[in-house]
Structure 1
């Protein structure tokens, strides 16, 4: 294309010689040309902005457009060898310079949160059942705990303090590394208590309880992930059931016996099985009415860990009471 195809600027006959010649630029009569801006037929001329091969003679002195003209100061000004912009007129439409749309993918965040919770939970269970194995299969560990009963009360106090701190204080369970320190102390204390408790049973009963607990927890977790029933709305009911269960346990202390032990342990295993479904759905989020924030991965791991440990202890109690 040449400038001869632009009828609005007859003085630009030869771009190699008369660019800004013969009357100057803008054309006589002011800029924009008579008839408004852009001139009839649109601006830039058909075929693109700037003649093929760029502006002859380089960029005009003083800059283009004139001071106060169009485009505004700071926008794109053509250089020698300028090529056709991708689209539009004005600032260069570079796709890399356009703002990107970073969509908030809640599902990917939730999946990462679930992976983090189960990794923490797996570490807790490995430590706990390692301690249980040590108390069950190593007589020296069992005798050491029996000769030092104060360790039981220290572990119980550490377990209660750390658990209540993480449950009641947001700053404790959300700030790193404080949350991992408290969770580690809680896990060690709870593992010692579980080991002392399991040491009262023989190895066959403990292994049976571990196997049943693993099967029950796996089945309940899969059920919680697949079922259409929303257990997250049952929080108030579960709290009421837990209070009644605790009162029943206090009363059962004054009426010891095999039958009441079996009843108490069976109710406890059932209650914490429902709690495991409830906490799993709270962690999953999605279509459920209530869910745990992805920032609460320590709290979610703590809930699941307590559910599994309670299920294990009550199943172990059922097995021991049924054989005794």
Structure 2
């Protein structure tokens, strides 16, 4: 096959543009979540409404799960505007439920853990982007680990074991570190296979899905680290 520097350059621009869009949307989601969490935590009324009523709290949790599954399953059939609106709404709703961390951990430990998480995430993401090694097998192994974490967490709701909770957190850090590298590598494949679309709708929807995936990796990694290093307010 004849080497085409122009074709390679165009492919590189396409990949970089797509990946930049993914990270921009991920940062938007994280910013909305952080702002909402802090705002809700600063309002006694909102805290009482959300956490004082189990129906509302669990309704929000199941609503978030529903949004993730719906967006993942229907993103190709919905408009770019709908996909974006759903992602933004999810980020805000998740911020409201995550405001509980301000009632459990002190501000300094939340800030320091966030910094550690950001640096760890960045390192894993860079590795996933530059490595020549195929991380598909790693991704499959990490997904099995994620399923194990979910099952163990559900069991621990009834067992209420502090030791198991810590084990889940340590394993969770390893799992989401691996998933971050794997999901970042997948972004390059997504960028290359994005269909040509003059309106940019398909690219936008692909970027939203990529942003949601990395957003979930970041949030879960942060929560796992917070369980390990977070200092109690008491």
Q: Which residue of 2 aligns with 1:316?
A: 226
Determine whether 1:231 maps to 2:135: yes
Q: Which residue of 1 aligns with 2:123?
A: 219
For residues 281 and 198 of structure 1, do their structure 2 counterparts lie closer, same or farther at Cα, with a shift above 3 Å needed? farther
- Distance between the aligned counterparts of 2:158 and 2:80, measured in 1? 44
Determine whether 1:249 maps to 2:153: yes
- Compare the two structures and name the one with the higher helix fraction: 2
- Distance between the aligned counterparts of 1:238 and 1:264, measured in 2? 14
Alignment of 1:102-117 (within 5 A): 105-117=10-22
- Distance between the aligned counterparts of 2:192 and 2:208, measured in 1? 11
- Distance between the aligned counterparts of 2:232 and 2:100, measured in 1? 20
Scaled by the length of structure 2, the TM-score of the pair is 0.80
Q: CA deviation at 1:270?
A: 1.2
Note if contact 2:113-2:229 (Cα within 8 Å) is conserved in structure 1: yes
Q: Alignment partner of 1:171: what SS? A: coil
Note if contact 1:120-1:301 (Cα within 8 Å) is conserved in structure 2: yes
CA RMSD, 1 decimal: 2.7
Q: Which residue of 1 aligns with 2:80?
A: 176
Alignment of 1:93-108 (within 5 A): 105-108=10-13
Q: Alignment partner of 2:105: what SS? A: coil
Alignment of 1:1-324 (within 5 A): 105-136=10-41, 138=42, 140=44, 141-172=46-77, 175-285=79-189, 293-294=193-194, 295=203, 296-320=206-230
Q: Alignment partner of 2:104: what SS? A: coil
For residues 175 and 150 of structure 1, do their structure 2 counterparts lie closer, same or farther at Cα, with a shift above 3 Å needed? same
Cα displacement string for residues 221-259 of structure 1 (whole angstroms, at most 9, x for unaligned residues)? 222223332213433323222222222223333332332
5+ residue gaps in structure 1?
A: 1-101
Scaled by the length of structure 1, the TM-score of the pair is 0.60
- Distance between the aligned counterparts of 1:158 and 1:126, measured in 2? 20
Note if contact 2:21-2:207 (Cα within 8 Å) is conserved in structure 1: yes
Note if contact 2:103-2:233 (Cα within 8 Å) is conserved in structure 1: no
> Which is worse superposed, 244-253 or 296-305?
244-253
For residues 170 and 127 of structure 1, do their structure 2 counterparts lie closer, same or farther at Cα, with a shift above 3 Å needed? closer
Note if contact 1:258-1:321 (Cα within 8 Å) is conserved in structure 2: no
Q: Which has the higher contact order (CA 8 A, sep 6+)?
A: 2
Cα displacement string for residues 31-56 of structure 1 (whole angstroms, at most 9, x for unaligned residues)? xxxxxxxxxxxxxxxxxxxxxxxxxx
Q: CA deviation at 1:128?
A: 1.1
Please say which structure displays the higher CA radius of gyration. Answer: 1
Cα displacement string for residues 70-120 of structure 1 (whole angstroms, at most 9, x for unaligned residues)? xxxxxxxxxxxxxxxxxxxxxxxxxxxxxxxx9582221111111111110
5+ residue gaps in structure 2?
A: 1-5, 195-202
